[in-house]
């Protein structure tokens, strides 16, 4: 199917250009003198602007369709003086042509460090490059794999299609009322760098999520969480390019259907979107989250009224360094399994046979079990098998000692799943995305 978006238009009688990216999104290039552009990104959040954009699309606003080639020829004829869109839509940085590489080793692009070649690979830096990559994949019938930081994937084999690595950078403060901020961040930014930057600036709310590897764009995929906070607690909206139509669409909080390590992008909307930017609501006076026992013990030497958001982020980093392996030294993808959630009846059955099982009551009456405890009790903690094994400080983490293959790690994972089922009657589900050629 041909891409429906973007559509390129020119306002008759002027030199103004529009790249319409979806029913609610357009980028306007407004001439400034004879050599420069002012670039505005428009999101039609209210009805009048939606109608304006619809009219622009339907030629009711004296605009005419132009080809992509004419659009970019005209854009290149001037320089961009000022842009309200620093996040790589159609800004000066965003109109280069896609670079495609062949037979790229993905081992350094993923934290598990498994050897796997991709036939075609591209790093995208703008929405436009995302669309170019989608077109290239569609025209050649290449199966597409989106990669951020590669910290939550296990590659089972070579990838025979195309990998699109998200590299859209940038950050903008869209609103700041003195306490609350709306901050939008390019999907290709590093998550941990965002957290450090926010802590530095006093934009609080993300500090418990320090040191989680990966990209900003992947953070809503599984609603990343740690130490009592999940990304959904600070998420406002995201924008994503539709993999079939090229349309840019905004998903608000409700539309993402967040759950524990879940979102709509792993369920109903799986493999349909490329997330290009994410907006967060941060607060200078955000409450501190210190319920987690380990954070309390880390900070017990400080007078409670003096504890800052930076203290919490540093405590979280110390705790994480003490038990999670550093992927730069030992390949891993964090927790390999989710903590299982059981209904009250199933939980009572496990509890009656294993009174010490570590569990947490959830709203609605169900219970979450500590999968790390189940795996440790089943005797797997610290076990090495071939080139892979179970981490000796955190049994939820499978590790690659250097030469493990995806198959080898998956065989270990399935043996653990079988064993935990046999010993506890509990079914473990992988948390890490299993990447297999379909």
Active site members: 261, 335, 431
Q: How far apart are CA 75 and CA 39, in angstroms?
A: 10
User: Between 143 and 376, whose beta carbon lies closer to ligand EPU?
Assistant: 376
- The answer to whether residue 367 forms part of the interface with ligand EPU (CB under 6 A) is no
User: Between 158 and 262, whose beta carbon lies closer to ligand EPU?
Assistant: 262
219-248: contacts with ligand EPU (CB under 6 A): 226-227
User: Between 128 and 431, whose beta carbon lies closer to ligand EPU?
Assistant: 431
Among 396, 399, 413, 420, binds ligand EPU (CB under 6 A): 396
User: Between 273 and 337, whose beta carbon lies closer to ligand FAD?
Assistant: 273
Strands 225-226 and 229-230: antiparallel
Strands 36-43 and 17-22: unpaired
Q: What DSSP string runs through 374-387? A: HHHHTT-TT-EETT
Q: What DSSP string runs through 276-343? A: EEEEEEEETTPPP---SHHHHHHHTTS-GGG--HHHHHHHHHHHHHHHSPPTTTSEEEEESBPPPEE-
Among 121, 131, 338, 359, binds ligand EPU (CB under 6 A): 338
- The answer to whether residue 378 forms part of the interface with ligand EPU (CB under 6 A) is no
The sheet carrying 397-400 orders its strands as 331-335, 397-400, 388-390, 384-385
Number of residues lying near ligand EPU (CB under 6 A): 16
x/- map, 263-302, ligand EPU, by CB under 6 A: ----------------------------------------
**DSSP, res 270:** T
Residues 6 or more apart whose CB falls under 8 angstroms from that of 254 comprise none
Residue 339 interacts, among ligand EPU, ligand FAD, none and using kind-specific CB cut-offs from 5 to 8 Å, with: ligand EPU
> 194 near 185, Cβ under 8 Å?
yes
301-320: contacts with ligand EPU (CB under 6 A): none
Q: How far apart are CA 339 and CA 127, in angstroms?
A: 35
Spatial CA neighbour of 416 closest among 378, 369, 384:
378
Least spacing, CB of residue 360 vs ligand EPU, in Å: 9
Residue 148 interacts, among ligand EPU, ligand FAD, none and using kind-specific CB cut-offs from 5 to 8 Å, with: ligand FAD
DSSP three-state, residue 241:
strand
Q: Which residues bind ligand FAD (CB under 6 A)?
A: 111, 146-153, 166, 187, 212-215, 217-219, 221-222, 224-226, 273-275, 324, 327, 332-334, 433
Q: How far apart are CA 261 and CA 154, in angstroms?
A: 17
Rounded to the nearest angstrom, the gap between the alpha carbon of residue 168 and the centroid of all alpha carbons in its chain is: 12
Q: How far apart are CA 148 and CA 331, in angstroms?
A: 17
User: Between 27 and 396, whose beta carbon lies closer to ligand EPU?
Assistant: 396
Q: Which stretch binds ligand EPU (CB under 6 A): 166-174, 283-291, 298-306, 365-373?
A: 365-373
Q: Name the strand (E) or helix (H) holding 367.
A: strand 367-369
Residue 24 interacts, among ligand EPU, ligand FAD, none and using kind-specific CB cut-offs from 5 to 8 Å, with: none
Spatial CA neighbour of 53 closest among 71, 26, 29:
26
Q: Which stretch binds ligand EPU (CB under 6 A): 45-53, 171-179, 392-400, 406-414?
A: 392-400
Q: What is the 3-state secondary structure (H, E, C) of 169-236?
A: CCEEEEEECCCEEEEEEECCCEHHHHHHHHHHHCCECCHHHCCCCCECCCCCCCCCEECCEEHHHCEE
**DSSP, res 35:** T
Least spacing, CB of residue 243 vs ligand FAD, in Å: 9
User: Between 53 and 164, whose beta carbon lies closer to ligand FAD?
Assistant: 164
- The answer to whether residue 335 forms part of the interface with ligand EPU (CB under 6 A) is yes
Residue 100 interacts, among ligand EPU, ligand FAD, none and using kind-specific CB cut-offs from 5 to 8 Å, with: none
Among 42, 89, 121, 381, binds ligand EPU (CB under 6 A): 381
User: Between 402 and 425, whose beta carbon lies closer to ligand FAD?
Assistant: 402
Interaction site with ligand EPU (CB under 6 A):
226-227, 334-335, 338-339, 358, 370, 372-373, 376, 381, 394-396, 431
């Amino acid at each position: 199917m041909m891409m429906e978006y973007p559509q390129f238009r020119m306002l008759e009688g002027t030199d103004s250009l529009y790249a319409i990216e979806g029913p609610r999104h357009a980028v306007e290039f407004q001439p400034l003198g004879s050599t420069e552009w002012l670039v505005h990104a428009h999101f039609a959040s209210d009805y009048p602007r939606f109608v304006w954009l619809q009219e622009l699309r339907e030629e009711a606003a004296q605009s005419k369709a132009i080809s992509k080639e004419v659009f970019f020829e005209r854009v290149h004829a001037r320089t961009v003086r000022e842009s309200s869109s620093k996040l790589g839509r159609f800004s000066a940085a965003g109109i280069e042509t896609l670079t495609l590489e062949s037979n790229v080793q993905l081992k350094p692009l993923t934290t598990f460090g498994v050897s796997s070649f991709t036939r075609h690979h591209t790093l995208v830096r703008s929405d436009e490059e995302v669309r170019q990559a989608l077109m290239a994949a569609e025209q050649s019938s290449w199966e597409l794999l989106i990669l951020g930081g590669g910290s939550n994937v296990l590659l089972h084999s070579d990838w025979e299609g195309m990998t699109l690595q998200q590299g859209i950078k940038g950050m903008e403060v869209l609103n700041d009322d003195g306490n609350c901020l709306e901050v939008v961040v390019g999907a290709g930014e590093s998550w941990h760098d965002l957290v450090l930057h926010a802590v530095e600036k006093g934009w609080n709310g993300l500090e418990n999520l320090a040191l989680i590897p990966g990209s900003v764009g992947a953070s809503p995929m599984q609603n990343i969480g740690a130490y009592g906070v999940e990304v959904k607690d600070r998420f406002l909206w995201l924008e994503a390019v539709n993999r079939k139509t090229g349309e840019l669409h905004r998903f608000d909080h409700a539309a993402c259907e967040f759950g524990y390590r879940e979102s709509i992008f792993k369920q109903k909307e799986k493999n349909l979107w490329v997330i290009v930017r994410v907006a967060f609501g941060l607060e200078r006076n955000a409450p501190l989250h210190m319920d987690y026992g380990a954070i309390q013990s880390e900070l017990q030497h400080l007078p409670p009224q003096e504890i800052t958001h930076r203290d919490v982020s540093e405590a979280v980093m110390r705790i994480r360094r003490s038990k999670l392996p550093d992927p730069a030294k030992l390949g891993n993808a964090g927790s390999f399994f989710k903590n299982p959630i059981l209904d009250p009846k199933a939980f009572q059955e496990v509890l009656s046979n294993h009174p010490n099982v570590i569990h947490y009551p959830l709203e609605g009456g169900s219970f979450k079990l500590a999968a790390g405890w189940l795996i440790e009790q089943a005797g797997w903690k610290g076990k090495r098998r071939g080139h892979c094994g179970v981490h000796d400080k955190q049994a939820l983490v499978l590790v690659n000692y250097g030469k493990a293959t995806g198959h080898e790690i998956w065989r270990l994972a399935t043996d653990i799943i079988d064993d935990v089922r046999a010993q506890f009657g509990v079914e473990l589900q992988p948390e890490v995305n299993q990447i297999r050629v379909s």
